[in-house]
Chains A and B, each alone.
Chain A
Amino acid sequence: GDSVTQMEGPVTLSEEAFLTINCTYTATGYPSLFWYVQYPGEGLQLLLKATKADDKGSNKGFEATYRKETTSFHLEKGSVQVSDSAVYFCALSDSLSGAQKLVFGQGTRLTINP
């Protein structure tokens, strides 16, 4: 079945550092790809998405490019802030099957130190 693999955390960086969180996927169809963020004590929020190959999703300084050839959707940010500390989830949906459910990775906990 479809699956998502994220780089293991936790990840700890200093403020203004460059961030990359790796995400690779396995899917039989043509998935849409998502990054969700979960701040402490809250539910998940959609951070960005890409619906087809070579699309770039971006939001709040974060970017991720849908790479079909490497089945990847790595999350990047050029200069992180303390407020970016959260858990980040990569997810996919299989638009071919029409199923509305998302398949989530295990999450990567990010801590930014001032």
Chain B
Amino acid sequence: DAGVIQSPRHEVTEMGQEVTLRCKPISGHDYLFWYRQTMMRGLELLIYFNNNVPIDDSGMPEDRFSAKMPNASFSTLKIQPSEPRDSAVYFCASSFGDGGAFEQYFGPGTRLTVT
């Protein structure tokens, strides 16, 4: 079975540009999570969805960040406009909420560099 798929794997953009990261969760999973990983802050949860509905977006750093999940098999994380401090690895993860498993399956990540 395919795991969590993220695209692109690497993104280099200039400050001020719009960036869109994409994620396809594992089929049948009803939870989707977006994380950001940096050396300084470690792994941070940005937002998560249940059945395509955002449940907790308290980790989204500011209004420049937005996330959508139009259907069960696709989610996007958008940064507009991008800034150099947004440079990080962004991970998408999914899980199946079967009453307590909580096991999250991570994608390979998108390495974003904003110059």
Contact = CB atoms under 8 A, between A and B. Distances in A.
A89 B95 contact: no
Given A32-B102, A49-B103, A100 B97 contact: yes
Given A43-B107, A43-B109, A44-B91, A100 B42 contact: no
A101 interface: yes
Given A46-B103, A51-B100, A95-B102, A106 B42 contact: yes
B56 interface: yes
Interface residues of B, number: 22
Given A44-B91, A100-B31, A93 B102 contact: yes
Interface of B: 4, 31, 33, 42-43, 45, 48, 50, 56, 91, 93, 95, 97, 100, 102-109
Interface of A: 32, 34, 41-46, 49, 51, 89, 93, 95, 99-102, 104, 106-107
20 contacts: A32-B102, A42-B108, A43-B109, A44-B43, A44-B91, A44-B104, A46-B103, A46-B104, A46-B105, A51-B100, A89-B43, A93-B102, A95-B100, A101-B33, A101-B56, A102-B45, A102-B102, A104-B43, A106-B42, A107-B42
